[in-house]
Structure 1
Amino acid sequence: MAESETLAKTMTAIGFDEPGGPDALRPETLGIPRPAAGEVLIRVSHAGINRPDVIQRQGYYPPPPGASPVPGLEISGEVVALGEGADGLPTGSRVCALVSGGGYAEYCLADAGHCLPVPQGLSMAEAAALPETLFTVWHNVFERGWASEGETLLVHGGTSGIGTMAIMLAKAFGLSVIVTCGSDEKCTAAREVGADHAINYKTGDFVEEVKAITRGEGVELVLDMVSGDYVPRNLACLKPDGRHVTIAVLGGLTAELNMAQIMQKRLTLTGSTLRPRSAEFKSLLADEIARNAWPLIEDGTIRPVMDKTFPLTEAGAAHARMEAGDHIGKIVLEV
């Protein structure tokens, strides 16, 4: 194992004894992990907060086998040690990484193939806000959803980290974007990020508004984070041959569908979760993002929408902010 510095034996991380509310999170002292073959050890600068972290803390989203029980799925920082075969990233490299857990800590392991270089002009806080949303949106909108230039995408939760990334990526590749948000202020914010239309779902029927915006034609693609009773409403928004991609089930696990409608309109329903996918899959996804989307980060076309930064030891307050739903863009921890 190659190291760029003499490492201490222990580090501060954020854990919880029992599932519960945001106040269940507390600092703990753990041993610094050592990278296995193909892995790098990163001294963490910042860690992104994501909805799966909240669900894990609540006890509903256990880490996959072999993953760290410490929450945190995306980080930025400096490579300080290399496992065998992880030669493409020299120690001292500034990277951001998608990780399967362990991000809320002073040090975190990452697969070398899941790291991306932090370009000049991108802050480490911004870098930590990118991997989870960028990997998720790229895979689900462009790979699973087959998004193409000239099409229209409907996104729920338009001011979330996923929502703002979906707006920016879709616009960069020539799509029109309609989003739903929970307030007029959030609708304004979504339009400022680049959405062509923003619908306040609390004051209007998004199905009717999508029909009006598209002159009755509907959209080609829906990115769904709600599920539940939103699914039949989403399908009503799709034009023939439309695609519906589910990435979260915040509104319920089950939906009642009219299968005749799906047959008549030739609709495609799919979805995915990223965390349990294989290391090989994530490396391939990182390679595709590096070729197609990362240049937009490097030249400044896309910058993550940032909400608020909390110290690592205030992870509970960061979770409380996410659960309150008032944030616009990404919440990150500064380590």
Structure 2
Amino acid sequence: MQLEQHIATLLFRYHCVVVPGFGAFLSHEKGASHHQKTNTFYPPTKQISFNAQLQVGDGVLVSHIAAAVFKTYEETLSLVSYEVKKWQYKLAEGENLELDGIGVLSNSSDGKTIFTPAQNANYLRASFGLTAVKASPKTSLGSNRDIQQRAAQQLQKEGVLFQLESDKKAPNSGVRKLVWRYAAAGLIGVSGLLSTYSSYENHLTNNSVAQQEAQQIVNKKIQEATFFSNKPLSLSPVEISLTKKAVPKPSYFIIAGAFRAPENASKKIAQLKSKGFDKANYLGPNRWGLHQVSYAAFTEEQEARNFLANIQNKFAKDAWLLIQKK
């Protein structure tokens, strides 16, 4: 069983992964960093450390492995214990315990466990896919004076000298003229180099100025645009005619009973509501002075008759339909 693979998987999700009877691997988040000597930028990461004192298992590792290998918790715990004994034996023999993707464990001369984390492993999920980036130093052509000095040095290397010491040795003026020709050619070359650089520099400057002017025009247009006005809008009055829609009053009532005493009618209503007839209602006294109670009221006759049939079949055969058309 590759126990370190399961530990590595859990390090992406947890800050502490305990290996029962062995120790715990801890992770601490570290922000992006820069190595000055190599000029390399490193993304945020999780630094892994090891604590041999935390050996009491919390069940996370064993439960994770049990689900992965389709075994019971007890069976998986036995497998983990067996793997831990192999690790402890290897360390006791003075060997290094290499855990792929996590780091290397070893025992010091005084019996302490030393952990060296793997350099290329990053268990911070937010940095997934990010790698170290080595930045190249920025180079500059320098000022015009620097360019002139470098050009003069280059001409000197090529033998184009402006000190006419050769004139002293030259037997005739023809040699001097030749030297002056080379010097003039050198000056023309330097002038051309400076002119080319100056034109390029002017081009960049003009470009920058044009971009700034364009941006200023855009900003001005945006500022001039009116999205909201503080002036109140003048709206012409709108006449709205509301027509009240007449709600039809129920004309069909399913009668549950008629009572001489009003309190008996109230008791009947409470009884019906307790049985689920939420629309039970008091209709008032009829022409004989009896107080009527209904199961429900309807505006459509057919709907009322269907309800009555259901009541008579399931609850009360003496229920009847009262029609009150106005």
| Category of TM-score, reference length = shorter chain | under 0.3
Instruction: Give the number of the structure whose alpha-carbon radius of gyration is greater.
Output: 2
TM-score (norm 1): 0.17
- Structure with bigger helix share is 2
- Structure with bigger strand share is 1
Higher-RCO chain (CA-CA 8 Å, sequence separation at least 6): 1
TM-score (norm 2): 0.17
